[in-house]
Structure 1
Amino acid sequence: MRTELLERYRAIPLPTKSDEHWRFTDLSGFDPDSFSAAPAGNAVTAPTLLEIDAAGVVSVGESGITIESAPEGIRVEPLTDDHPLLGTLVGHGEKFAAHNAAMWEHGLLIHVPKGVELEKPIYIRIGNAVDGGSLFWRLLVVADAQSRFTVIEEYASAGEDLSGYSNAAVEIFVEEAAKVEYVSLQNLSQKTWHFASHHARVERDAELDWVAGGFGSGGGKVWIQNDLAGQGATSRVTGAYFADHAQRLDYDTFQEHIAAHTTSDFAFKGVLRDEASAVWRGMIRVEEGAQKTNAYQENRNLLLSKQAHADSIPGLEILANDVRCTHGATLSQVDREQLFYAMARGLSRQEAERLIVRGFFQDVLDRIELQPVRDALGRALEARIPE
């Protein structure tokens, strides 16, 4: 099967700017096959943005996965090829998803039984610690009915100068009346290419609260998809990103309303400085039977330099006639009057920009339920403004 998947990956051409979903992302000069596998015994030494009290801790590096601790009664174990849900949400029809399907070795299964509630999160640290190395990561989360828990995954590099290729696939199943909080933070080096496919399915009266933070990598694409598959299902996605130097961030999001009386709320905000750029493409699709859908998506960008650039492409595809679907997108420069006002009261330009950035992100940060995550994101965003 892996041989067939590898052949499938090789048969799919590398995306170009002539492909609609890659129109603003240039992959010329990038060769995913030029990155090598890590030597055996490599340790994960990547730093973390978070200091959090966790119920379970897992470390992942190019050469292996270590389950340091796990809550009693919860399946936190290496993922195997024969799991029946593996690949049912993230398949192999796209170039990088096919590469992950063919090459992943380090995967994790988190399965929480019916009615179980965890007070503390399960924390996964994915570390790139080999210069020129590749890391294929796979995560499968299954929340049985009426369970409640939080999963946090953080991608980081052991050094700012490490180059690498990161390829991740995450599948999340939220069963009836369950609630999952899923946090994905990416802080890889700017010499790392990062591609990820995140896909969740939310069933009847279930809830998914998703937080995405993007700070690192030099280029790539992140796919985020939510399927509201059961009546009364709810998903909320909160995103924050900050890019500087020559970073190129790309987010492609899809909210699919399959059942009636479903709700999705998507809010992404980004700040860009220097010559950085970002692109966000968001689609809300409402199927024929999904009456009484309530869906919202927004993307707002703040530019701290004249060379920074952002593209926002919202879209709606509505096949039902009794729905409420709205979207918004804005792009703005730093308000010079705000900057002058702050500097006139003794703040340096950097301090004034940091204050403005904090204010810009505040409503997004307020959506995050976990205080340690909220605080860490705030610190990480402010830290990107140089002293």
Structure 2
Amino acid sequence: MRTELLEAYRALPLPTTRDEHWRFTDLAGFDPDAFAAATATAGTVPSMLDLDVAASATIDESGIAVSEGVPDGIRFEPLTDDHPLLGSLVRPDDKLRAHNAAVWEHGLLVQVAEGVELEKPLYLRVASNVPDGSLFWRVLVVAEPGSRFTLVQELTSAEDDLVAYVNGVVEVVVHDGAKTEIVNVQRLSRAAWLFASCHARVERDAELDWVEGGFGSSRGKVWIQNDLADRGATSRVTGAYFADGEQHLDYDTYQLHAAPDTTSDFAFKGALRDSAATVWRGMIRVEEGAQKTNAYQENRNLLLSKTATANSIPGLEILANDVRCTHGATLSQVDREQLFYLMARGLPRSEAERLIVRGFFQDVLDRIELLPVREALGAALEARIPQS
């Protein structure tokens, strides 16, 4: 199977701006085969999160390490090729996903037994440590019926200017009546290429909360798809990102309503400065027969410089006739009156901008249930405003 996948990867073309989903993200200069298959680690990377966790794991170029003392009813262990759900959601249908499917070595299985509720989160750190190296990883999350838990994944680099190719896949299955929160905080090097595919299936009366924080990487794309597969399924996606310098962040999201009485709520906010660029493409699709669907998506961007660029492309595909689907996208600059008001009261410009940015993000931060994550993301967003 790996041989067939590798042949498929080699046969598939690298996406170009002629492809609709890559229209605003140019991969010119990126050669996935130019990055070495790294096997050594260069050291540990400190976390931006201060968490009291139930169990933890680390994935880097040297392999995967899992902490001891995993709670009863939890499978928190290295992922192997033979799991029946592996690859059931993310298909190797483009060059980047095929590359991951063909060569990934390090993965984590998170499976929480029926009825088990965890008070403390599970934590995974994915660390890119080797210059000019590549890192491929996979995560498979299975929430058995009635379970409750949070998984936090943090993507880091050893150095701010580390050139690397990072390619990951996260698959999540939330069975009947379960509730799962997935927190993904990305703070890779400003010189790293990032491609990540995240796909979840939410079943009857189950609930998924997905939190996405984007601060690092140079260029690439993150896909997030949630399938509301059975009656009463609910998903909520909350995103906050900040891009500066020459960064280019691209998010491609998909909310699929395949059953009646399902709900999805999507809110992404971003701030940009310098010559940074962002892309968000969001689609709500309601299948025929998925009546009583309630779906919402919004993307709002705050420009902190005249040279930053944000592209928002919301979309609806509705095949049912008794639904409520809304979407919105806005683009604005810092309110001069707000800035003047704060500076007139003695605040330097940088501090005034920091307060405005915090206020801009506050409503999405309030959606994050885990307090340490909410505080860390808020602090990381404010820290991107340079001192005067």
Asked if these proteins are the same fold (TM beyond 0.5), I'd say yes
In structure 2, the residue matched to 1:97 is 97
Shift of 1:161: 1.6
In structure 1, the residue matched to 2:115 is 115
Deviations 1:142-175 (A, max 9, x none): 0000000000000000111211010000000000
- The amino acid of 2:96's aligned partner reads F
* 2:249 matches 1:243: no
Q: Is the Cα–Cα contact under 8 Å of residues 42 and 130 in structure 2 kept in the other structure?
A: no
In structure 2, the residue matched to 1:32 is 32
* 2:321 matches 1:326: no
Alignment RMSD? 0.7
- What TM-score comes out, normalization by structure 2 length? 0.99
- The amino acid of 1:67's aligned partner reads V
- The amino acid of 1:261's aligned partner reads D
Within 5 A, what are the aligned runs for 1:364-379? 364-379=364-379
Return the alpha-carbon distance in structure 2 between the equivalents of residues 46 and 279 of structure 1: 28
In structure 1, the residue matched to 2:53 is 54
Within 5 A, what are the aligned runs for 1:189-208? 189-208=189-208
Return the alpha-carbon distance in structure 2 between the equivalents of residues 71 and 12 of structure 1: 43
Within 5 A, what are the aligned runs for 1:255-274? 255-274=255-274
Return the alpha-carbon distance in structure 2 between the equivalents of residues 191 and 217 of structure 1: 6
Matched residue SS, 1:58? strand
Q: Is the Cα–Cα contact under 8 Å of residues 106 and 137 in structure 1 kept in the other structure?
A: yes
Matched residue SS, 1:378? helix
In structure 1, the residue matched to 2:148 is 148
Q: Is the Cα–Cα contact under 8 Å of residues 246 and 274 in structure 1 kept in the other structure?
A: yes
* 2:225 matches 1:218: no
- The amino acid of 2:237's aligned partner reads V
Matched residue SS, 2:37? coil
Q: Is the Cα–Cα contact under 8 Å of residues 125 and 153 in structure 1 kept in the other structure?
A: yes
Return the alpha-carbon distance in structure 1 between the equivalents of residues 208 and 137 of structure 2: 22
Matched residue SS, 1:242? strand
- The amino acid of 2:55's aligned partner reads G
Shift of 1:44: 4.6
Instruction: Tell me which moved more, 264-273 or 338-347.
Output: 338-347
Q: 1:174 to 1:144 in 2, by over 3 A?
A: same
How many percent identity over aligned positions?
72
Return the alpha-carbon distance in structure 2 between the equivalents of residues 89 and 39 of structure 1: 28
Within 5 A, what are the aligned runs for 1:296-307? 296-307=296-307
In structure 2, the residue matched to 1:63 is 62
In structure 2, the residue matched to 1:337 is 337
Return the alpha-carbon distance in structure 1 between the equivalents of residues 44 and 309 of structure 2: 33
Return the alpha-carbon distance in structure 2 between the equivalents of residues 347 and 39 of structure 1: 49
Matched residue SS, 1:53? coil
- The amino acid of 1:369's aligned partner reads E
Matched residue SS, 2:36? coil
In structure 2, the residue matched to 1:11 is 11
Instruction: Tell me which moved more, 45-54 or 234-243.
Output: 45-54
Matched residue SS, 1:376? helix
- The amino acid of 2:128's aligned partner reads N
Matched residue SS, 1:9? helix
Deviations 1:101-130 (A, max 9, x none): 001000010110100111100000000111
Deviations 1:257-297 (A, max 9, x none): 00100000000000000000000000000000100000000
In structure 2, the residue matched to 1:363 is 363
Shift of 1:47: 2.2
In structure 1, the residue matched to 2:292 is 292
Return the alpha-carbon distance in structure 2 between the equivalents of residues 227 and 136 of structure 1: 24
Would you identify which runs of 4 or more consecutive aligned residues in structure 1 move more than 3 Å? none
Q: Is the Cα–Cα contact under 8 Å of residues 257 and 290 in structure 2 kept in the other structure?
A: yes
Within 5 A, what are the aligned runs for 1:105-184? 105-184=105-184
Shift of 1:43: 5.2
In structure 2, the residue matched to 1:227 is 227
Q: Is the Cα–Cα contact under 8 Å of residues 218 and 248 in structure 1 kept in the other structure?
A: yes
Equivalent residues, number: 386
Deviations 1:34-84 (A, max 9, x none): 1112234x2551221101000001011012100023223310111111110
Shift of 1:215: 0.2
Matched residue SS, 2:67? strand
Return the alpha-carbon distance in structure 1 between the equivalents of residues 264 and 154 of structure 2: 24
- The amino acid of 2:141's aligned partner reads V
- The amino acid of 1:334's aligned partner reads V
Shift of 1:253: 0.2
Return the alpha-carbon distance in structure 2 between the equivalents of residues 242 and 5 of structure 1: 35
Return the alpha-carbon distance in structure 2 between the equivalents of residues 44 and 202 of structure 1: 37
Q: Is the Cα–Cα contact under 8 Å of residues 54 and 120 in structure 2 kept in the other structure?
A: yes
Return the alpha-carbon distance in structure 2 between the equivalents of residues 215 and 44 of structure 1: 21
Consecutive unaligned residues in structure 2, runs of 5 or more: none
Q: Is the Cα–Cα contact under 8 Å of residues 43 and 61 in structure 1 kept in the other structure?
A: no
- The amino acid of 2:325's aligned partner reads C
